[in-house]
Protein backbone atom coordinates (compact mmCIF):
# COMPACT_ATOMS: atom_id res chain seq x y z
CA UNK A 1 0.00 0.00 0.00
CA UNK A 2 2.73 2.40 1.04
CA UNK A 3 4.78 1.48 -1.98
CA UNK A 4 1.84 1.98 -4.30
CA UNK A 5 1.27 5.43 -2.86
CA UNK A 6 4.87 6.51 -3.18
CA UNK A 7 4.89 5.30 -6.77
CA UNK A 8 1.87 7.40 -7.51
CA UNK A 9 3.49 10.33 -5.78
CA UNK A 10 6.70 9.93 -7.78
CA UNK A 11 4.83 9.61 -11.04
CA UNK A 12 2.79 12.71 -10.23
CA UNK A 13 5.89 14.68 -9.25
CA UNK A 14 7.65 13.76 -12.47
CA UNK A 15 4.69 14.67 -14.65
CA UNK A 16 4.28 17.95 -12.77
CA UNK A 17 7.96 18.73 -13.23
CA UNK A 18 7.74 18.01 -16.93
CA UNK A 19 4.69 20.22 -17.25
CA UNK A 20 6.37 23.09 -15.42
CA UNK A 21 9.48 22.72 -17.58
CA UNK A 22 7.52 22.64 -20.83
CA UNK A 23 5.38 25.60 -19.81
CA UNK A 24 8.52 27.47 -18.74
CA UNK A 25 10.23 26.93 -22.07
CA UNK A 26 7.16 27.91 -24.06
CA UNK A 27 6.68 31.05 -22.02
CA UNK A 28 10.23 32.18 -22.46
CA UNK A 29 10.10 31.96 -26.23
CA UNK A 30 6.85 33.88 -26.46
CA UNK A 31 8.12 36.70 -24.32
CA UNK A 32 11.36 37.18 -26.18
CA UNK A 33 9.96 37.16 -29.68
CA UNK A 34 7.86 40.36 -29.99
CA UNK A 35 10.50 42.60 -28.41
CA UNK A 36 12.69 41.97 -31.42
CA UNK A 37 10.54 44.08 -33.67
CA UNK A 38 10.48 47.51 -32.07
CA UNK A 39 11.37 49.82 -34.96
CA UNK A 40 8.63 48.67 -37.32
CA UNK A 41 5.81 48.65 -34.82
CA UNK A 42 2.11 49.00 -35.38
CA UNK A 43 1.62 46.48 -38.13
CA UNK A 44 1.15 42.76 -37.83
CA UNK A 45 4.56 41.06 -37.78
CA UNK A 46 5.72 38.62 -40.45
CA UNK A 47 6.62 35.40 -38.68
CA UNK A 48 9.28 32.95 -39.76
CA UNK A 49 9.77 29.48 -38.34
CA UNK A 50 13.42 28.76 -37.62
CA UNK A 51 13.90 25.02 -37.17
CA UNK A 52 17.47 24.21 -36.22
CA UNK A 53 19.29 21.67 -34.03
CA UNK A 54 19.78 23.32 -30.64
CA UNK A 55 20.63 20.15 -28.74
CA UNK A 56 22.40 16.94 -29.63
CA UNK A 57 25.48 16.45 -31.77
CA UNK A 58 24.66 19.25 -34.24
CA UNK A 59 23.75 21.87 -31.64
CA UNK A 60 26.78 23.95 -32.55
CA UNK A 61 25.48 24.35 -36.12
CA UNK A 62 22.05 25.31 -34.87
CA UNK A 63 23.46 27.86 -32.46
CA UNK A 64 25.36 29.58 -35.27
CA UNK A 65 22.28 29.55 -37.53
CA UNK A 66 20.17 31.01 -34.75
CA UNK A 67 22.74 33.78 -34.30
CA UNK A 68 22.79 34.54 -38.02
CA UNK A 69 18.99 34.63 -38.08
CA UNK A 70 18.79 36.97 -35.08
CA UNK A 71 21.35 39.34 -36.59
CA UNK A 72 19.37 39.36 -39.84
CA UNK A 73 16.08 40.10 -38.02
CA UNK A 74 17.64 42.94 -36.05
CA UNK A 75 19.05 44.51 -39.21
CA UNK A 76 15.81 44.13 -41.16
CA UNK A 77 13.70 45.55 -38.33
CA UNK A 78 16.10 48.44 -37.73
CA UNK A 79 15.70 49.30 -41.40
CA UNK A 80 11.90 49.31 -41.19
CA UNK A 81 11.02 45.64 -41.57
CA UNK A 82 9.63 43.99 -44.69
CA UNK A 83 6.98 46.09 -46.46
CA UNK A 84 6.79 48.12 -43.27
CA UNK A 85 5.94 45.06 -41.19
CA UNK A 86 8.25 43.90 -38.40
CA UNK A 87 9.85 40.50 -38.64
CA UNK A 88 9.56 37.91 -35.89
CA UNK A 89 11.29 34.56 -35.45
CA UNK A 90 9.74 31.51 -33.84
CA UNK A 91 12.63 29.19 -33.05
CA UNK A 92 12.31 25.44 -32.50
CA UNK A 93 14.82 22.65 -31.79
CA UNK A 94 14.95 19.74 -34.27
CA UNK A 95 17.51 17.85 -32.14
CA UNK A 96 18.93 16.88 -35.59
CA UNK A 97 16.24 14.20 -35.58
CA UNK A 98 13.85 13.85 -38.56
CA UNK A 99 10.86 12.94 -36.34
CA UNK A 100 11.41 15.91 -34.04
CA UNK A 101 11.98 18.13 -37.07
CA UNK A 102 8.62 17.11 -38.52
CA UNK A 103 6.89 17.47 -35.14
CA UNK A 104 8.11 21.04 -34.51
CA UNK A 105 7.38 22.04 -38.12
CA UNK A 106 3.83 20.66 -37.74
CA UNK A 107 3.39 22.61 -34.53
CA UNK A 108 4.36 25.87 -36.23
CA UNK A 109 2.36 25.08 -39.37
CA UNK A 110 -0.70 24.63 -37.18
CA UNK A 111 -0.06 28.11 -35.78
CA UNK A 112 -0.31 29.46 -39.31
CA UNK A 113 3.40 30.06 -39.94
CA UNK A 114 4.13 29.28 -43.59
CA UNK A 115 7.74 30.41 -44.12
CA UNK A 116 10.67 28.47 -42.67
CA UNK A 117 14.42 28.34 -42.75
CA UNK A 118 17.25 26.49 -41.02
CA UNK A 119 17.84 22.72 -40.79
CA UNK A 120 21.36 21.35 -40.59
CA UNK A 121 20.93 17.65 -41.22
CA UNK A 122 19.98 16.22 -44.61
CA UNK A 123 17.83 13.57 -42.91
CA UNK A 124 15.73 16.29 -41.28
CA UNK A 125 15.52 18.23 -44.55
CA UNK A 126 14.38 15.11 -46.43
CA UNK A 127 11.63 14.63 -43.84
CA UNK A 128 10.48 18.25 -43.60
CA UNK A 129 10.52 19.03 -47.33
CA UNK A 130 7.55 16.74 -48.24
CA UNK A 131 5.68 18.03 -45.17
CA UNK A 132 5.99 21.57 -46.56
CA UNK A 133 4.56 20.39 -49.87
CA UNK A 134 1.64 18.70 -48.15
CA UNK A 135 0.85 21.48 -45.68
CA UNK A 136 1.53 24.38 -48.07
CA UNK A 137 4.57 25.81 -46.37
CA UNK A 138 7.93 26.80 -47.82
CA UNK A 139 11.40 26.07 -46.45
CA UNK A 140 14.88 27.35 -47.25
CA UNK A 141 17.62 25.13 -45.83
CA UNK A 142 20.88 26.60 -44.62
CA UNK A 143 23.24 23.59 -44.60
CA UNK A 144 21.64 20.26 -45.63
CA UNK A 145 23.78 18.94 -48.47
CA UNK A 146 22.04 15.79 -49.70
CA UNK A 147 21.72 16.12 -53.47
CA UNK A 148 18.41 14.22 -53.36
CA UNK A 149 16.75 17.41 -52.08
CA UNK A 150 17.16 19.18 -55.40
CA UNK A 151 17.11 16.01 -57.48
CA UNK A 152 15.02 12.86 -56.94
CA UNK A 153 13.20 14.15 -53.84
CA UNK A 154 12.65 17.66 -55.17
CA UNK A 155 9.37 19.48 -54.66
CA UNK A 156 8.45 23.12 -55.25
CA UNK A 157 8.24 23.97 -51.55
CA UNK A 158 11.91 23.31 -50.92
CA UNK A 159 14.80 25.77 -51.52
CA UNK A 160 18.53 25.51 -50.80
CA UNK A 161 20.30 28.82 -50.11
CA UNK A 162 23.75 27.22 -49.83
CA UNK A 163 26.06 25.57 -52.31
CA UNK A 164 25.68 21.81 -52.81
CA UNK A 165 28.22 18.95 -52.69
CA UNK A 166 28.55 18.99 -56.48
CA UNK A 167 29.70 22.62 -56.40
CA UNK A 168 31.62 22.46 -53.12
CA UNK A 169 33.59 19.24 -53.67
CA UNK A 170 34.38 20.01 -57.28
CA UNK A 171 35.66 23.46 -56.34
CA UNK A 172 37.92 21.80 -53.79
CA UNK A 173 39.08 19.20 -56.32
CA UNK A 174 39.80 21.97 -58.82
CA UNK A 175 41.83 23.84 -56.23
CA UNK A 176 43.82 20.67 -55.53
CA UNK A 177 44.62 20.18 -59.23
CA UNK A 178 45.69 23.82 -59.48
CA UNK A 179 47.79 23.92 -56.32
CA UNK A 180 49.05 20.36 -55.90
CA UNK A 181 49.52 19.10 -59.48
CA UNK A 182 52.06 16.49 -58.36
CA UNK A 183 49.80 15.01 -55.66
CA UNK A 184 48.24 12.28 -57.75
CA UNK A 185 47.66 9.59 -55.12
CA UNK A 186 44.49 10.31 -53.18
CA UNK A 187 42.64 8.68 -50.30
CA UNK A 188 39.80 9.54 -47.95
CA UNK A 189 38.30 8.91 -44.53
CA UNK A 190 34.55 9.40 -44.73
CA UNK A 191 31.52 8.56 -42.58
CA UNK A 192 29.68 5.50 -43.83
CA UNK A 193 26.34 7.12 -44.68
CA UNK A 194 24.75 8.93 -47.58
CA UNK A 195 26.36 12.29 -46.88
CA UNK A 196 29.83 10.76 -46.56
CA UNK A 197 29.57 8.78 -49.76
CA UNK A 198 27.99 11.60 -51.77
CA UNK A 199 30.67 14.12 -50.75
CA UNK A 200 33.43 11.68 -51.69
CA UNK A 201 31.78 10.67 -54.98
CA UNK A 202 31.58 14.33 -55.97
CA UNK A 203 35.15 15.04 -54.88
CA UNK A 204 36.47 11.96 -56.67
CA UNK A 205 34.61 12.94 -59.84
CA UNK A 206 36.14 16.41 -59.51
CA UNK A 207 39.66 15.00 -59.10
CA UNK A 208 39.18 12.77 -62.13
CA UNK A 209 38.04 15.74 -64.20
CA UNK A 210 40.51 18.41 -63.11
CA UNK A 211 43.78 16.48 -62.66
CA UNK A 212 43.97 15.39 -66.32
CA UNK A 213 42.60 18.80 -67.44
CA UNK A 214 44.63 21.17 -65.30
CA UNK A 215 47.59 19.23 -63.91
CA UNK A 216 47.90 17.04 -67.04
CA UNK A 217 48.39 14.05 -64.77
CA UNK A 218 46.63 10.76 -64.28
CA UNK A 219 45.05 10.28 -60.93
CA UNK A 220 45.07 7.28 -58.63
CA UNK A 221 42.62 6.60 -55.78
CA UNK A 222 44.61 4.42 -53.38
CA UNK A 223 42.51 4.21 -50.22
CA UNK A 224 38.81 4.72 -49.44
CA UNK A 225 38.18 4.37 -45.69
CA UNK A 226 34.59 4.34 -44.50
CA UNK A 227 34.21 4.71 -40.75
CA UNK A 228 31.00 4.00 -38.83
CA UNK A 229 29.09 7.15 -37.85
CA UNK A 230 30.03 8.37 -34.35
CA UNK A 231 33.12 6.13 -34.15
CA UNK A 232 35.44 6.76 -31.20
CA UNK A 233 38.52 5.30 -32.83
CA UNK A 234 39.92 6.17 -36.25
CA UNK A 235 43.43 4.77 -35.85
CA UNK A 236 42.90 1.79 -38.14
CA UNK A 237 41.54 4.07 -40.86
CA UNK A 238 44.34 6.59 -40.35
CA UNK A 239 47.06 3.95 -40.64
CA UNK A 240 45.36 2.35 -43.64
CA UNK A 241 45.49 5.68 -45.48
CA UNK A 242 49.16 6.15 -44.49
CA UNK A 243 50.06 2.64 -45.62
CA UNK A 244 48.41 3.25 -48.98
CA UNK A 245 50.96 6.05 -49.56
CA UNK A 246 48.17 8.49 -50.35
CA UNK A 247 49.60 12.01 -50.56
CA UNK A 248 46.31 13.85 -50.68
CA UNK A 249 43.59 13.02 -48.16
CA UNK A 250 39.95 14.09 -48.16
CA UNK A 251 37.57 13.85 -45.24
CA UNK A 252 33.88 14.54 -44.74
CA UNK A 253 33.85 13.28 -41.15
CA UNK A 254 31.64 15.72 -39.29
CA UNK A 255 31.78 17.77 -36.09
CA UNK A 256 33.15 15.94 -33.06
CA UNK A 257 33.98 12.89 -35.19
CA UNK A 258 36.24 15.06 -37.35
CA UNK A 259 37.98 16.48 -34.28
CA UNK A 260 38.57 12.96 -32.92
CA UNK A 261 39.92 11.82 -36.27
CA UNK A 262 42.27 14.83 -36.61
CA UNK A 263 43.37 14.45 -33.00
CA UNK A 264 44.14 10.74 -33.37
CA UNK A 265 46.11 11.35 -36.58
CA UNK A 266 48.59 13.69 -34.84
CA UNK A 267 50.73 10.98 -33.10
CA UNK A 268 51.31 9.26 -36.46
CA UNK A 269 52.80 12.50 -37.83
CA UNK A 270 50.04 11.98 -40.38
CA UNK A 271 50.01 15.56 -41.60
CA UNK A 272 53.80 15.61 -42.14
CA UNK A 273 53.62 12.51 -44.29
CA UNK A 274 50.99 13.78 -46.71
CA UNK A 275 51.09 16.77 -49.06
CA UNK A 276 47.60 18.06 -48.38
CA UNK A 277 44.53 17.49 -46.23
CA UNK A 278 41.06 18.58 -47.30
CA UNK A 279 38.13 18.93 -44.89
CA UNK A 280 34.93 19.28 -46.86
CA UNK A 281 32.68 21.18 -44.46
CA UNK A 282 33.67 21.68 -40.82
CA UNK A 283 34.07 25.46 -40.99
CA UNK A 284 36.17 26.50 -37.96
CA UNK A 285 35.17 23.55 -35.77
CA UNK A 286 38.44 21.62 -36.04
CA UNK A 287 40.87 24.57 -35.59
CA UNK A 288 38.75 26.01 -32.77
CA UNK A 289 38.97 22.65 -30.97
CA UNK A 290 42.59 21.83 -31.78
CA UNK A 291 44.15 25.25 -31.13
CA UNK A 292 47.90 25.08 -31.71
CA UNK A 293 47.62 21.35 -32.57
CA UNK A 294 45.76 22.34 -35.77
CA UNK A 295 47.50 20.85 -38.81
CA UNK A 296 47.69 22.88 -42.03
CA UNK A 297 44.62 21.98 -44.09
CA UNK A 298 41.98 23.28 -46.47
CA UNK A 299 38.39 23.65 -45.29
CA UNK A 300 35.22 24.15 -47.31
CA UNK A 301 33.05 26.88 -45.81
CA UNK A 302 29.66 28.41 -46.57
CA UNK A 303 30.85 31.97 -46.02
CA UNK A 304 34.27 33.36 -45.18
CA UNK A 305 33.81 37.00 -44.15
CA UNK A 306 37.34 38.13 -45.12
CA UNK A 307 36.61 37.24 -48.73
CA UNK A 308 33.80 39.85 -48.70
CA UNK A 309 35.30 42.58 -46.55
CA UNK A 310 34.47 45.16 -49.23
CA UNK A 311 30.78 44.29 -48.90
CA UNK A 312 29.02 46.57 -46.38
CA UNK A 313 26.45 43.84 -45.68
CA UNK A 314 29.12 41.23 -44.84
CA UNK A 315 31.01 43.71 -42.69
CA UNK A 316 27.88 44.65 -40.77
CA UNK A 317 27.05 41.01 -40.04
CA UNK A 318 30.62 40.26 -39.02
CA UNK A 319 30.85 43.29 -36.71
CA UNK A 320 27.47 42.57 -35.17
CA UNK A 321 28.46 38.94 -34.54
CA UNK A 322 31.76 39.86 -32.90
CA UNK A 323 30.04 42.48 -30.73
CA UNK A 324 27.12 40.31 -29.70
CA UNK A 325 28.83 36.94 -29.23
CA UNK A 326 32.41 37.95 -28.29
CA UNK A 327 33.90 35.63 -30.89
CA UNK A 328 36.02 36.73 -33.86
CA UNK A 329 35.34 33.66 -35.99
CA UNK A 330 31.74 33.39 -37.15
CA UNK A 331 31.20 30.21 -39.15
CA UNK A 332 29.53 30.07 -42.54
CA UNK A 333 26.26 28.92 -40.96
CA UNK A 334 25.80 32.45 -39.63
CA UNK A 335 26.00 33.77 -43.18
CA UNK A 336 23.60 31.16 -44.56
CA UNK A 337 20.86 31.83 -42.01
CA UNK A 338 21.27 35.54 -42.67
CA UNK A 339 21.06 34.91 -46.42
CA UNK A 340 17.86 32.87 -46.04
CA UNK A 341 16.09 35.83 -44.44
CA UNK A 342 17.53 38.20 -47.07
CA UNK A 343 16.09 35.92 -49.76
CA UNK A 344 12.65 35.96 -48.10
CA UNK A 345 12.80 39.73 -47.75
CA UNK A 346 13.62 40.21 -51.42
CA UNK A 347 10.97 37.68 -52.48
CA UNK A 348 8.19 39.15 -50.32
CA UNK A 349 8.98 42.66 -51.51
CA UNK A 350 8.92 41.44 -55.11
CA UNK A 351 5.64 39.55 -54.66
CA UNK A 352 4.14 42.15 -52.28
CA UNK A 353 2.61 39.17 -50.49
CA UNK A 354 3.52 36.58 -47.92
CA UNK A 355 1.35 33.65 -48.98
CA UNK A 356 3.19 30.46 -49.89
CA UNK A 357 2.44 30.38 -53.61
CA UNK A 358 3.41 34.00 -54.14
CA UNK A 359 6.61 33.62 -52.12
CA UNK A 360 7.63 30.44 -53.99
CA UNK A 361 7.01 32.16 -57.30
CA UNK A 362 9.06 35.18 -56.25
CA UNK A 363 11.93 33.05 -54.91
CA UNK A 364 12.24 31.18 -58.21
CA UNK A 365 14.89 32.89 -60.29
CA UNK A 366 15.37 35.57 -57.62
CA UNK A 367 18.69 37.42 -57.53
CA UNK A 368 19.39 39.05 -54.19
CA UNK A 369 22.20 40.61 -52.16
CA UNK A 370 23.79 38.43 -49.51
CA UNK A 371 26.83 38.41 -47.25
CA UNK A 372 28.70 36.64 -50.04
CA UNK A 373 27.65 38.92 -52.87
CA UNK A 374 24.81 38.38 -55.33
CA UNK A 375 23.11 34.99 -55.25
CA UNK A 376 20.58 33.65 -57.71
CA UNK A 377 18.07 30.94 -56.89
CA UNK A 378 17.66 28.68 -59.90
CA UNK A 379 13.98 28.43 -60.89
CA UNK A 380 14.13 24.81 -62.08
CA UNK A 381 15.48 23.01 -58.99
CA UNK A 382 15.62 25.81 -56.37
CA UNK A 383 19.39 25.42 -55.99
CA UNK A 384 21.18 28.70 -55.32
CA UNK A 385 24.04 29.75 -57.54
CA UNK A 386 26.61 31.24 -55.17
CA UNK A 387 30.32 31.42 -54.53
CA UNK A 388 32.13 28.46 -53.02
CA UNK A 389 34.56 29.58 -50.30
CA UNK A 390 37.60 27.54 -49.34
CA UNK A 391 40.02 28.51 -46.59
CA UNK A 392 43.46 27.30 -45.60
CA UNK A 393 44.40 27.19 -41.91
CA UNK A 394 47.85 26.87 -40.37
CA UNK A 395 49.05 26.59 -36.76
CA UNK A 396 50.66 29.71 -35.24
CA UNK A 397 52.42 30.45 -31.95
CA UNK A 398 50.12 33.19 -30.74
CA UNK A 399 46.53 32.71 -29.51
CA UNK A 400 44.25 31.06 -30.53
CA UNK A 401 46.98 28.82 -32.00
CA UNK A 402 45.84 28.90 -35.65
CA UNK A 403 44.99 31.37 -38.41
CA UNK A 404 43.57 31.50 -41.90
CA UNK A 405 46.55 32.24 -44.16
CA UNK A 406 44.78 31.94 -47.48
CA UNK A 407 41.34 31.69 -49.03
CA UNK A 408 39.91 30.95 -52.46
CA UNK A 409 36.58 31.93 -53.98
CA UNK A 410 35.11 29.96 -56.89
CA UNK A 411 32.14 31.33 -58.80
CA UNK A 412 29.05 29.15 -58.60
CA UNK A 413 28.07 29.50 -62.28
CA UNK A 414 31.23 27.71 -63.41
CA UNK A 415 30.70 24.79 -61.06
CA UNK A 416 27.02 24.05 -60.78
CA UNK A 417 25.45 20.99 -62.38
CA UNK A 418 22.65 21.37 -64.95
CA UNK A 419 19.28 21.29 -63.16
CA UNK A 420 17.49 17.94 -63.17
CA UNK A 421 14.73 18.12 -60.56
CA UNK A 422 13.10 14.73 -60.02
CA UNK A 423 16.11 12.87 -61.43
CA UNK A 424 19.21 11.60 -59.64
CA UNK A 425 22.41 13.64 -59.89
CA UNK A 426 24.67 12.45 -62.69
CA UNK A 427 28.41 12.51 -62.09
CA UNK A 428 30.70 12.65 -65.11
Partner 1 sequence: METLFLPLVNGLTWAMMVFLVASGLSLVFGVLKILNFAHGGFFMLGVYLTYTFIRNHALSPLKFFLIVFLCGIILAIIGAILERLIIRRFYQLDEAYMLIATYALLLVIEGSVEGIWGLQFLALPSPKGLGGGTEIFNTIIPSYSLVIIAAGVAVAVLLNLLINRSPAGKIIRAAAGDPDMTSALGINVPIIYTMIFAFGIFLAAIGGGIGAPNQAITPTMASSFIIQAFGVVVVGGLGNIGGAFLAAIILGLVDSFGTIYLPQIPGIAFYAAMALILLVKPHGLFESSISTK
Task: Write out the residues near partner 1 by the rule CB under 8 A.
Answer: 3, 6-7, 10, 14, 55-57, 59-60, 63, 192, 225-233, 235-237, 239-240, 243, 255-260, 262-264, 266-269, 285-286, 288-293, 401
Please, which residue, 27 or 291, has the CB nearer to partner 1? 291
| 395 contacts 293 by C-beta, under 8 angstroms | yes
DSSP character string of 169-211: HHHHHHHHHHH-TT--EEEEEEESSHHHHHHHHHHHHHHHHHI
Please, which residue, 14 or 79, has the CB nearer to partner 1? 14
d(CA 228, CA 242): 19
Shortest approach of partner 1 to residue 194 CB, angstroms?
Answer: 15
Please, which residue, 11 or 23, has the CB nearer to partner 1? 11
Please, which residue, 156 or 193, has the CB nearer to partner 1? 193
d(CA 340, CA 317): 14
The HSE-up count of residue 12 (CA atoms within 13 Å, CB side) is 6
| 416 contacts 410 by C-beta, under 8 angstroms | no
H or E segment at 235?
Answer: helix 235-243
Please, which residue, 10 or 379, has the CB nearer to partner 1? 10
Shortest approach of partner 1 to residue 306 CB, angstroms?
Answer: 21
Please, which residue, 239 or 376, has the CB nearer to partner 1? 239
Shortest approach of partner 1 to residue 282 CB, angstroms?
Answer: 9
Shortest approach of partner 1 to residue 399 CB, angstroms?
Answer: 9
Shortest approach of partner 1 to residue 136 CB, angstroms?
Answer: 34
Q: Which DSSP state fits 15?
A: H
Q: Which sign, positive or negative, has the C-alpha torsion 337, 341, 346, 351?
A: positive
Please, which residue, 100 or 129, has the CB nearer to partner 1? 100
Shortest approach of partner 1 to residue 227 CB, angstroms?
Answer: 6
| 84 contacts 147 by C-beta, under 8 angstroms | no
Of 202, 162, 145, nearest to 386 by C-alpha is 162
Shortest approach of partner 1 to residue 233 CB, angstroms?
Answer: 5
CA angle 175, 180, 185 (to 5 degrees): 110
Amino acid sequence: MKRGFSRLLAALTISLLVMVLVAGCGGQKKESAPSEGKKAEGKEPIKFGVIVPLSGSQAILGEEMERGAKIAVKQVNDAGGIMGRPVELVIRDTKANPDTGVAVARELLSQGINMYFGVASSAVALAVSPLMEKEKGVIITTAAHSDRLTHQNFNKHYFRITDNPYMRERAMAKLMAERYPNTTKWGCIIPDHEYGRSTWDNFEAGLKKYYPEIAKKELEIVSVQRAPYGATDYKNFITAVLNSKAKGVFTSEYGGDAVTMFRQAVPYAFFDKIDVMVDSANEFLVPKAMGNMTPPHWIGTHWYYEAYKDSPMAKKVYDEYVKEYKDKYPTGWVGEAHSALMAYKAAIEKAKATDTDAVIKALEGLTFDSVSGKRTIRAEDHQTIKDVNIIHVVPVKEEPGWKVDEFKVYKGDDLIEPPSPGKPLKLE
